[in-house]
């Protein structure tokens, strides 16, 4: 099958290579001329035979919106656009409606697999009408892992990215749990081989997983993680998952806490913790640490006013 693929970065480039290994004809376009088979999106469309299929693998938001708008002006009725980036499911619904006015199909695909997908395959969560999904099955079969699992037609337009959003929210919670467990093991005097402890969990335990395998790999490369700074970005799906939970009145305490933990990681000197320290000092006389790193007197030390507020009318 022939397909156009826009965005040949780490994921897109590897996906194009996996498709070619499976015998598909891939016409790739990237802003980097060294990676591109064509010089423009117009040339990419002209190289494809109708009905065309164009897979977009660019950053979510503005870049995806601009690319799909350009494709809408170049493609014809019967063609299909596939958004394989980490777009918001609500954007999918808008894109499908806009392209649909010209008879152009739209399919959204949540893709998981990272840099390892080229060898082991990509988990694909697909949203869209049956007609377009069925037409693209040879591409999906080439990209997915071998076997029965690794692919789902999750529902209509937006379902693929909604499923991927929840997948990434779960991933946030799992990573946070592993991270907290590692920190506690490191803080304890009882456990002297922390990397070995995690490695022992890889087989025979209920928490064995690919994330655990990657954690062990990271500790083998840097046992104390001394080369890393405690800063973690969020790519957007975690926020969208929490917002969707609010919209549907579904409690997500673990995933929400893991998202907030990433926010906290970006603060060298947390403003909220400053207030917590100040309040603990006020009501309990707990010592506080100044900016210079020196301990200041507690609220109940000599000279401090610890008088309770005047009785108020109840």
- Residues contacting 297, CB < 8 A, separation 6+: 287, 303, 304
- Residue for token digits 């469309």? 45
Please tell me the distance from the alpha carbon of residue 57 to that of residue 15, in angstroms, as a whole number: 10
Calculate the alpha carbon distances from 251 to 171, 172, 174, 254, 262 in Å. 17, 15, 17, 9, 19
In the residue annotation, 297 being an active-site residue is answered as no
Which one is catalytic: 164, 199, 233, 237? 164
**How many Å apart are CA 68 and CA 64, to the nearest integer?**
6
Sequence-distant (6+) residues with CB within 8 A of 232 are 261, 262, 265
- Token pair 């397909």 in the structure block, residue: 3
Q: CA-CA distance, 117 to 137, in Å (whole number)? A: 18
C-alpha–C-alpha distance, residues 268 and 199, integer Å: 31
| 221 assigned to active site | no
Token digits for 101? 């006015």
Structure tokens at 274: 């400053």
3-state percent breakdown (helix, strand, coil) of the chain, nearest 5: 50, 15, 40
What is the DSSP secondary structure assignment for residue 273, as one 8-state letter?
Answer: H
* C-alpha–C-alpha distance, residues 56 and 99, integer Å: 14
Structure tokens at 132: 């377009």
Q: Which of 43, 98, 171, 199 is catalytic?
A: 171
Angstrom distance (rounded) from CA 310 to CA 138: 76
**For 174, how many CA atoms within 13 A lie in the half-sphere containing its CB?**
16
Instruction: Quote the distance between the C-alpha of residue 232 and its chain's center.
Output: 12
Residues labelled catalytic: 164, 171
């Amino acid at each position: 099958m022939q397909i156009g693929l826009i965005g040949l970065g780490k994921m897109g480039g590897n996906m194009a290579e996996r498709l070619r290994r499976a015998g598909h004809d891939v016409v790739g376009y990237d802003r980097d001329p060294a990676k591109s088979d064509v010089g423009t999106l117009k040339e990419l469309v002209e190289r494809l035979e109708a009905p065309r299929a164009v897979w977009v693998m660019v950053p979510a938001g503005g870049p995806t919106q601009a690319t799909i708008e350009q494709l809408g002006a170049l493609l014809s009725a019967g063609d299909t656009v596939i958004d394989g980036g980490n777009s918001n499911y609500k954007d999918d619904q808008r894109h499908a409606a806009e392209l649909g006015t010209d008879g152009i199909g739209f399919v959204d695909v949540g893709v998981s697999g990272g840099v390892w997908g080229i060898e082991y395959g990509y988990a694909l969560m697909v949203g869209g009408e049956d007609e377009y999904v069925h037409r693209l099955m040879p591409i999906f079969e080439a990209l997915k892992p071998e076997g029965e699992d690794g692919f789902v037609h999750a529902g209509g337009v937006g379902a693929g990215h909604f499923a991927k959003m929840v997948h990434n929210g779960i991933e946030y919670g799992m990573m946070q749990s592993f991270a907290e467990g590692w920190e506690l093991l490191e803080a304890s005097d009882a456990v002297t081989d922390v990397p070995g402890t995690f490695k022992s969990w890889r087989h025979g335990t209920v928490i064995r997983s690919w994330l655990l395998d990657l954690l062990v790999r990271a500790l083998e490369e840097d046992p104390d993680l001394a080369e890393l700074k405690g800063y973690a970005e969020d790519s957007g799906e975690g926020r969208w998952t929490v917002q969707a939970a609010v919209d549907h009145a579904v409690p997500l305490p673990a995933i929400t806490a893991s998202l907030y933990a990433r926010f906290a990681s970006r603060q060298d000197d947390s403003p909220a913790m400053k207030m917590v320290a100040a309040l603990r000092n006020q009501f309990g006389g707990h010592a506080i640490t100044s900016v210079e790193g020196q301990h200041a007197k507690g609220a109940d030390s000599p000279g401090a006013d610890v008088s309770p507020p005047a009785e108020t009318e109840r």
